[in-house]
Amino acid sequence: MVERSADWLSQAERDMKQAEISHREGLYEWACFAAQQAAEKAVKALIQSLGGEAWGHSVAALIDALPEHVRPADLRDKALELDQAYIPSRYPNVHPTGYPGGLYSRTVAERLINYSKEIIRYCKATMPHVRRE
């Protein structure tokens, strides 16, 4: 497998920009989904940079798949909350009533964006060959 962790990390950072734009525009469900995607891709970048293969979409499961010496236990609960935005932020039929655009708030979006940023920072700091700025 070709090592493309830099590409995964670059896309994670773009997804975070999208989360911030969506948040600013009041599209809170999309801000939450983009925050989940950013964290997912950052952890996939870290796994790949360490020689592993990353599969799946659960940020928590990806964190669990990290080698023990780099597994951030303090970020797992945040990853679990991010995972709750993967499907429900996009599909009305996941909810008993309403649609995602009416069910996500500024507060929730801010929290998930902050969680995602923490995960991205951790992954960048832990990746062995990331250029530090």
DSSP-assigned states of every residue in 91-121? -GGGSSSS-HHHH--HHHHHHHHHHHHHHHH
In a domain, 132, yes or no: no
Cβ(42)–Cβ(8) under 8 Å? Answer: yes
**For position 2, what pLDDT does the model report?**
81
In a domain, 15, yes or no: yes
In a domain, 133, yes or no: no
In a domain, 67, yes or no: yes
Residue that is written with structure tokens 């952890």 in the block: 43
Low-confidence stretches of the chain (pLDDT < 50) are 132
Q: Supply the Cα-derived Rg of the chain in whole angstroms.
A: 15
**CA atoms lying within 13 Å on the CB side of residue 24:** 6
Question: In degrees to the nearest 10, what's the CA dihedral of 67, 76, 78, 98?
Answer: 110
The CATH number of residue 46's host domain is 1.20.120.330
**For position 77, what pLDDT does the model report?**
98
Smallest CA-to-CA distance from 120 within 20, 30, 40, 3 is with 40
In a domain, 48, yes or no: yes
Domain that holds residue 35: 5-126
**For position 132, what pLDDT does the model report?**
47
In a domain, 60, yes or no: yes
**For position 117, what pLDDT does the model report?**
98
Residues 38, 16: Cα–Cα separation, whole Å: 6
In a domain, 110, yes or no: yes
**For position 128, what pLDDT does the model report?**
85
In a domain, 131, yes or no: no
As given in the structure block, the two tokens for residue 75 are 């970020």
* Number of domains forming the structure of the chain: 1
Q: Tell me how far the alpha carbon of residue 16 is from its chain's centroid.
A: 8
